[in-house]
Structure 1
Amino acid sequence: MNRLFNNKFSGLLQLALMLLMIIPVTLLTMNMDYKSEVGTAFGGFIALVTDSAGSRGFLITLAILCVVTLFLKLPRKTLFAHMIVLAVLLVVGFISKTSLKVVTESPRPYTELLAKDLLIPEPEHFYNLDTDQQAQIIDTISSEVSQWRTRHWQGEKDYSFPSGHTIFAAICVAFFGGLFWQNKRYSWAVAILGWAAIVMYSRLWIGMHRPIDLVGSTLFIAAIYGIMPSFHGLAGKLYSKAPNCLRE
């Protein structure tokens, strides 16, 4: 058990730092006015960052980080075991995200603005509407809210808790950040933490999440990552059966 914890220590440390970063991220987005004007450069940057952890771009982010990991020159068998851990984390994280949203039924923050402007009676009412009705209501307020926000509102009409973008960012921080830190690539680990902080900021800025969503998502991944086995035994069996070209 101690050996397993020691192997996970770097990743858990990175997640602890990610949790701490939620404090300044929250302070920067307090009293956010969703109707404020947004410059093209800033709006485009926020969209790029949030998409890097979402359905539009997470595979690209994942591919880049996997390629960077190859520069660590880890033994093939060890790398194979790490990839199994990553795959399990992603599957558990994404499946759990969908299930938890259905259970918690927490309205997204932007629905509070819709209720404040009397477009719906209360935030919860938004989820009683069909998809077309939801889209029409968001269109109604689009003349007052920047398209850098409403574009995402139109694309994500599900519940708020937990944050899927933060779950993916936390997985990257725990797995890649922990791996980089363990192999003394400290600047690489810090870079991933910085990226995760901006992703979290973007989710609050757009109006998709509350700070508690970010905290819950990060703690959830920390718990899953902490109890997950190393899979070295399974990796050894699968590695021995792999084609020679993958073992050389």
Structure 2
Amino acid sequence: MKNYLMKKQYGLGLLAILVLLVSPMSLLVSHIDLLGDVSFEEGLFYTLLTDSAGSQGFLITLLVLSLLVWRKRPSTQNLLANGVQLGVILLIGFAAKTGLKIMTESPRPYTELLSHQLLIPQPEHFYKLNSTQKAEVIDGISTQVSQWRTRHWQGEKDYSFPSGHTIFVAICIAFFGGLFVQSREYGLAAALMLWGLGVAYSRLWLGMHRPIDLVGSIVFVSAVYLLVPQFHTLSEKILLKLPILTHK
């Protein structure tokens, strides 16, 4: 058990730091005005950040991080084991996200604004509407809210908890960040952490999540990362059956 935890220490340590850095963001939420003016530069910046961890760009992010790890030329066994581990964690994370949203039924912050503007009776009412009606309600506030925000509202009309973007960020920080720290590439680990914090804040800025959504997502990933093994034994067995793949 001790050896198992030792192998996980870097990833878990980075997730602990991430929670400590994300938690104070609750103090910043009150300063975010969803009705405020947004410059082109500001809107583009937060959109690129959030898209890098969303359906539009998460594969590119995974590719870039994978290439950074691959440039170190890891052994075939480590490459296979790490790939299986990452795949399992991502699968569990994304599948559980959908289930948790249905279970918690937590309205997104922007639905509170829609309620305050009398477009819906209360935030929960938004989720009783069909897709067309939801889109029409969001359109009803488009003259007051920047398109940089409403375009994301139109794209994500599901529940708030947990944050799928933050789940992806936490997985990347635990997995790739742990590998960077293990190989003493502290600069890359720090850059990855800054990116993760930027994505987390972008979710607040867009009105998509609350701080508790972010913290809960990180805690959830911490549990998944702790429980999912590293599959070195499995990768060794696979390589023995596939002699065409050789070890370094």
Residue-pair matches, total: 248
Give unmatched runs, 5+ long, in structure 1: none
Which residue does the alignment assign to 2:94?
94
Structure 2 contact 76–245 (Cα < 8 Å) conserved: no
Which residue does the alignment assign to 1:118?
118
Q: Distance in 1 between matches of 2:55 and 2:239?
A: 31
Structure 1 contact 14–178 (Cα < 8 Å) conserved: yes
Which residue does the alignment assign to 2:188?
188
Structure 1 contact 203–209 (Cα < 8 Å) conserved: yes
Give unmatched runs, 5+ long, in structure 2: none
Which residue does the alignment assign to 1:58?
58
User: What amino acid maps onto 1:20 in structure 2?
Assistant: L
Q: Distance in 2 between matches of 1:167 and 1:150?
A: 22
Q: Distance in 2 between matches of 1:242 and 1:137?
A: 57
Structure 1 contact 25–197 (Cα < 8 Å) conserved: no
Q: 1:24 to 1:7 in 2, by over 3 A?
A: same
Q: Distance in 1 between matches of 2:25 and 2:188?
A: 21
Structure 1 contact 29–201 (Cα < 8 Å) conserved: no
Superposed CA offset, 1:215-235 (max 9, x none): 100000001111221211111
Structure 1 contact 110–207 (Cα < 8 Å) conserved: yes
Superposed CA offset, 1:85-132 (max 9, x none): 100000000000000000000000000000001100000000000000
Residues 1:131 and 2:146 are matched in the alignment? no
Structure 1 contact 72–183 (Cα < 8 Å) conserved: no
User: What amino acid maps onto 1:153 in structure 2?
Assistant: W
Runs of 4+ in 1 over 6 A off after TM superposition: none
How far did residue 66 of structure 1 move?
0.4
User: What amino acid maps onto 2:223 in structure 1?
Assistant: A
How far did residue 204 of structure 1 move?
0.4
How far did residue 241 of structure 1 move?
3.2
Which residue does the alignment assign to 2:46?
46
The normalised TM-score by structure 2 is: 0.97
> What is the RMSD of the two structures over their aligned residues, measured on CA atoms?
1.3
How far did residue 245 of structure 1 move?
5.7
Which residue does the alignment assign to 1:161?
161
How far did residue 237 of structure 1 move?
1.4
Which residue does the alignment assign to 2:85?
85
Q: Distance in 2 between matches of 1:45 and 1:246?
A: 44
Q: Distance in 2 between matches of 1:69 and 1:32?
A: 37
Q: 1:145 to 1:246 in 2, by over 3 A?
A: farther
Which residue does the alignment assign to 1:33?
33
The normalised TM-score by structure 1 is: 0.97
Structure 2 contact 142–150 (Cα < 8 Å) conserved: yes
